Structure 1
Amino acid sequence: MSNKAIELIRLVGVAKSRDEAISEVAEMLINAKAVTPSYRDAMFDRESSVSTYMGHYLAIPHGTLEGAAEVLHSALAIVRYEEPIDWDGNEVRFVIGIAGKDGTHMDSLAQIAQVFSELETVEKLLKVSTEEQVREIFAEQAAA
């Protein structure tokens, strides 16, 4: 995944709940014309079947297989929250919405997993003040 794919970053999310957070990243993907508005429904369908909470303050909402047709091009939407969001009893500070075209989401998932596997890196992401610093952390992990 290139840094170009990490173009949608919001360092101060406005959502206060899991569902609001899913809608927030979905709107970012929709506004970027990466997905159709119907993709939001596919993200909620996925969440209702299995939680997208991943650990280390991270949730990765994404659509169902049926929703794949709603993806126009690959993109990530990253939102950081000042206050933890209750995600089915888990604390979430980062929500990363994924739209993967033609299987490219697997590369994105691998890089996200690498970045969030180390709590030290998560702590860095909690402290950054610019979108460029987020991109740099992802780039460092990709190069590692």
Structure 2
Amino acid sequence: MAKEVLAKENIQLNLTLNNKEEAIRYTGKILADNGYVEVSYVDKMLEREELTSTFMGNHVAIPHGTEDAKGLIKETGLSVVTVPNGVDFGDGNIVKVLIGIAGKGDEHLEILSKIAIVLSDADNIQKIVDTGSKEEIIRLFNEVN
């Protein structure tokens, strides 16, 4: 049976992370610890960040691996990490919501589309930052069809 793309154990709320590298490593480690990716995928997430920032605006970053990291993905999955006090992604870009992505094949395109819909509403981003409920975050993403 395939894993849930976004399970409760993939969500960590109200963390304090000191810098961009720590934030990306934490987000990727959730995916590795829960069996979605090989541990080395986390390094590919950092490599991707060096190529181009995964900061998307509105206090959101979407760390993911490089194109050549596809073979390190075991299952399609997401991790969600909230950092209410923010973490500096450089150039004054403060991130409060990190969404780690590992997508097998072309599944990441559908996932990105869902994420874009949820995060296009600034109210949803604030709900994600403010909530103490992992279920609420799952509900927000599951509402999108």
Per the normalisation by structure 2, the TM-score is 0.91
Kindly state the Cα deviation for residue 13 of structure 1 after the two structures are TM-superposed: 2.4
Matched ranges for 1:23-102 at <5 A: 23-88=25-90, 89-102=92-105
Runs of 4+ aligned residues of structure 1 deviating over 6 Å after TM superposition are: none
Letter in 1 for 2:5: A
Aligned length: 140
> How far apart in 1 are the matches of 2:69 and 2:45?
8
Distance 1:101 1:13 in 2: 28
Q: Which string of whole-angstrom CA distances, capped at 9 and with x for unpartnered residues, describes residues 38-85 of structure 1?
A: 101111110000000001110001001111110011000100012111
Picking from 95, 112, 128, the partner of 1:125 is: 128
1 CA distance for matches of 2:95 and 2:46?
Answer: 17
**1:113 equivalent among 104, 113, 116:** 116
Deviation per CA, 1:3-41: give whole Å up to 9, x if none: 931111111224221100000011101101111111011
Q: CA deviation at 1:138?
A: 1.4
What is aligned with 1:136? 139
| Partner secondary structure for residue 4 of structure 2 | helix
Gaps of 5+ in 2: none
Aligned-partner residue type, residue 50 of structure 2: S
**SS of 1:120 mapped into structure 2:** helix
Greater mean deviation of Cα atoms: 122-131 or 44-53: 122-131
Instruction: Tell me the C-alpha RMSD between the 2 structures.
Output: 1.4
Shift of 1:125: 1.6
Moved more, 15-24 or 120-129: 120-129
| Structure 1 unaligned residues grouped into runs of 5+ | none
